Structure 1
Amino acid sequence: MNNINHFFLYCAGVHEETLKKYPQEHNKYVAIAATIFFTGLFASLSGGYAMYFVFSGTYLDWLLAIVFGIIWGLMIFNMDRYIVLSINKSKTGGFQFLQALPRILLAILIGIVISRPLELKIFDKEIRENLKTTYIANERAKIDSLNIIFNKKYTLDLTQLKSLTTERDSLDARIKADRQKLNFEIFGNKTTETSGVVGYGPYAKRKELELEKSTVYLDSLRSSIIAKERLILDKQKAEGILNQKGLSNASLDSAVNLAGFADRNSALGNLKFKANGQVDEATANAVTFIGLLFIFLECLPVFVKLLSGRDAYDKAIYNQRIIDEYESDAYTVTEKAAIDHLKDASIDISINKRLKKMNEEIEEEV
């Protein structure tokens, strides 16, 4: 436990020899230090996770991510430690707030930066599903776009094919109807267009001749359609349309695994909206509150330092600073004499004031 306390007191940046004189302040500074340490730890995890997608697919990507994550965490840890240490508790509350305001803004920015990769990990399953939907939609949109461009480019050929197909279908239907009429005429079925006399008469011969001509023309139409379809197929191959295929499940999984930080970040933003474009309040609130939580954790050491009163340790450090300035000839002769008196008596300024107040209270009671 002593080693742990020593480590945390180092994180808080306190002067341990001075703090030992005020054991009642230990818990406060250990708590501040623990917040600084765990903020750096979260930053390390966040940075490592983000850089994993940056180096994904390269040699030793996991090792590079770990190294960068450690460096990023140490940098954030050192910055938080400096932010807390730089707040001067000898000043008034308003001055301390103004002094800490730029540091609070910096802490908010750091909180936003370290929270995003952790949010990506928390919503990893939802992000993967969103990426699959997005990739499928993009692939379909790409194919549709190519088809639209192809249709515009080869409008004449497609129009001719459609016209030939329509004519073929119409002629095929008419031949079937005429063949039925011919059968009715031969077998003596009476209709508005047949005589009702059984036998192969002049009308049947003429109808059969017309059917033969129509059949020959139908065959030529079919040959023209086949040739036109082959021509269009060759042009589709040349334009690369036939090479476009829908993504399989294996291809989707591979694409999602290779998705970079930008794609995942975009997918996380898309989670806030439903398929109809309306805001999904539950997901949006979850993402927002998780981000605010990490921002609060990043700002917490500063807030704790600001909200805590000027304790005995702060006063001792302030007094020591005065003595250090005294030794560097920063005070007048009168101020030096007062400080010499305190140093000779081995009493710091804060304790001297407390004793003076106690003496005044005793005199009033007497």
Structure 2
Amino acid sequence: MSIRMALATIAGARVEVLQKAPGDVAKHAAMGGVLISTSLVAMVSAFFALNSTLGLHWAVAAAAGAAWGVLIFNFDRMLMFSMGRGSGLIKGGVSALSRVLLAAVIGSIVSMPLVLKIFEPEIRDELVTMQFEAKKENQRKSDEAFAKITELEQEQTRLLDVVSGRSTSAVSDNADVVAAKAKLETAEKAYQDANAQAQCEFDGTCGTKVPGNGESYQQKKRIADEAKSTRDKAQRSLDDTTAKVTEQLESGAVNDTEQAHKRLPEIQADLDLRRAEQRAQEEKGKEATEGNTGLLARLEALDRITEGRPSGAAAHLAVFLLFFCIEVLPVIAKVLSAFGPETLYDRLLRRMDDDADTDDKVWASRDRDLAELKAEQRADMERAQLDAQTAAHAKTAQLVADKQLKMAMKAVEVWGELAQLRTDEELNRWYREHVGPNAPIPTALRPEPSVPQQSAPQPNDPESTLRIPKVVLPHQNGVPMNGNPSSTHP
């Protein structure tokens, strides 16, 4: 077989038909070459996807790619073989559309790894940027999730200061002392302002501009004295509050140290646990981010590269459509040929199929007739066998009935003889008892000549008396023939 004929066979053409239509060999051979090309493209695509994305060894990726290529090859052949002529325009169009859609799905799957491989340098750089952004986002989420760590660290520092005696808790930090200081500062400022106004009025540099101890000066002097009194009162309040707080702090210092010793281990244990959880979470996020180089991540990187870049998007679309068209080309070519004019190959193929269908119908009809004839012969044989069996059963039944009748007649005859003999014996016995043992026996009571004298049973001799057998008499017309010798009396 030539290479062209082998390629045509791969495309689904029948050799015996092509031999009668040599002009169609080239078309079918080209179709077979396209099928092989699409399977090779699918094989290379699967190899790149498995080797680059999953990181498989090249030998394993090559074996898996070869298996994928064979699968796509068989699937494309199935789509082509399932398309034919004579289905009508609407039905054929729907059938062709469904197969084109299936081919489009396969083309999209096959072309995507090839597109990723072509844009691999740009995708790799974009993946680095995406990983950096993901790390920053993970760190932000970790800080939000473990914000309690900062509070625990501050509490730990405070407790350590209390335990070591470096506690920042002083009299000046007390709220009452701070409030008293604020009042004193306010009163001091009010006094300084009032005193400055009074002195300015006394000097004549402000106010009435008249120096000396005048009425205006006296008025401002009273205001300054009141402010001074308020300041002195605030100072005394601050001193009292400070003394009180100092006494409280001195009395509670021992208790604070004891409480700090008790609480510090709990705070440290909780802090260590949360820090360990944070480190584990950060490590997991780091591993997930660094390992996020799979197919979806590469597709996202490709989308980010082409986003906002018309030239990049056009290049991406062009490369995708190139491999997409390569994958759907066999099915498209088959669809176009199905809706085109019939070739010599198509006509020969249709006639051969019609002839084969006619032959099959003829042979099927012949087989059906033979089967019916055989069935009738078997039925006749079974009926003849059944009739023979019925006749044999009837003859056997008649023979059995005749034999039973003879046996019954013989039994009746024997019974009659025995009954007669018993009757004679009874009469003889009665005669001897009533007439006398030596009286002559009447002729009527003498035994018949047909019965030997020596075989006659002797009266009153139980051993010589014959037992009358119990014989089941035959039925005559459904009525039993009854007889009982013992019931016969003279």
Asked if 1:144 corresponds to 2:140, the answer is yes
Q: 2:128 aligns with which of 132, 155, 158?
A: 132
Aligned twin of 1:204: none
Q: Show the 5 A alignment for 1:2-17.
A: 3-17=2-16
Query: Runs (4+) of structure 1 moved beyond 6 Å?
Result: 241-245, 330-333
Task: Determine the structure 1 residue equivalent to 2:100.
Answer: 104
Contact in 2 for aligned 1:130/1:271 (Cα 8 Å)? yes
Distance 1:242 1:83 in 2: 55
Q: Which residue of the other structure, out of 114, 118, 126, is the alignment partner of 1:118? A: 114
> Retained in 2: the 8 A contact 1:53–1:259?
no
1:241-263 C-alpha deviation (Å, 9 max, x unpaired): 68969xx9xx9xx957x833332
Find the structure with the greater CA-based Rg. Answer: 2
- Structure 2 residue runs of 5 or longer lacking an equivalent are 158-167, 169-266, 366-490
Unaligned runs of 5+ in 1: 162-166, 168-230, 274-278, 334-366
Q: 1:77-120 CA deviation, whole Å, 9 max, x = no partner?
A: 11111211222134444443222221111101111111111111
**Structure 2 equivalent of residue 305 of structure 1:** 334
Q: 2:206 maps to which residue?
A: none
Q: Distance in 2 between matches of 1:263 and 1:71?
A: 26
- 1:319 correspondence with 2:351: yes
Deviation of 1:266 (Å): 2.9
Superposed CA deviations along residues 57-94 of structure 1, whole A, max 9, x for unmatched, are: 6xxx3222222211111111111112112221344444
Match of 1:239 among 255, 275, 279: 275
- Please give the alpha-carbon distance, in whole angstroms, between the structure 2 residues aligned to 1:96 and 1:22: 25
Contact 2:17 2:345 in 1 (8 A): yes
Residue 286 of structure 1, aligned match among 279, 300, 315? 315
- Give per-residue Cα distances to partners, 1:10-32, cap 9 Å, x unaligned: 22111123113222222222222
Contact conserved, 1:151 with 1:158, CA < 8 A, in 2? no
Corresponding residue for 1:51? 50
* Residues 55 and 65, structure 1, Cα contact 8 Å, conserved in 2: no
Query: Separation in 2 of the partners of 1:28 and 1:56?
Result: 41
> Distance in 2 between the 1:313 and 1:158 partners?
90
Match of 1:259 among 293, 301, 304: 293
- Aligned equivalents of 2:141 and 2:312: distance in 1? 33
* Compared CA separation, residues 126 and 282, structure 1 to 2 (3 A): same
Any conservation in 1 of the 2:8–2:30 contact (CA below 8 Å)? no
AA paired with 2:85? K
- Alignment partners' CA distance in 2, 1:332 and 1:147: 83
CA deviations on 1:117-146 (whole Å, 9 max, x unpaired) are 111111111111111111111122222333
Tell me which of the two structures has the higher relative contact order, counting C-alpha pairs closer than 8 angstroms and 6 or more residues apart.
Answer: 1
Report if aligned partners of 1:111, 1:294 keep a CA contact under 8 Å in 2: yes
Within-5 A mapping of 1:1-366: 3-53=2-52, 55-56=54-55, 61-151=57-147, 153-155=149-151, 239=275, 255=290, 259-273=293-307, 279-308=308-337, 309=340, 310-329=342-361
Cα deviations across residues 128-183 of structure 1 (Å, max 9, x unaligned)?
Answer: 1111111111122222333344445424756999xxxxx9xxxxxxxxxxxxxxxx
Q: Which residue of 2 aligns with 1:217?
A: none
Would the alpha carbon gap of residues 318 and 88 (structure 1) be closer, same or farther in structure 2, given more than 3 Å must change?
A: same
What amino acid sits opposite 2:310 in the alignment? E
The TM-score normalised by the length of structure 1 is 0.58
Give the TM-score normalised by the residue count of structure 2: 0.45
| Alpha-carbon distance in 1 for matches of 2:324, 2:92 | 20
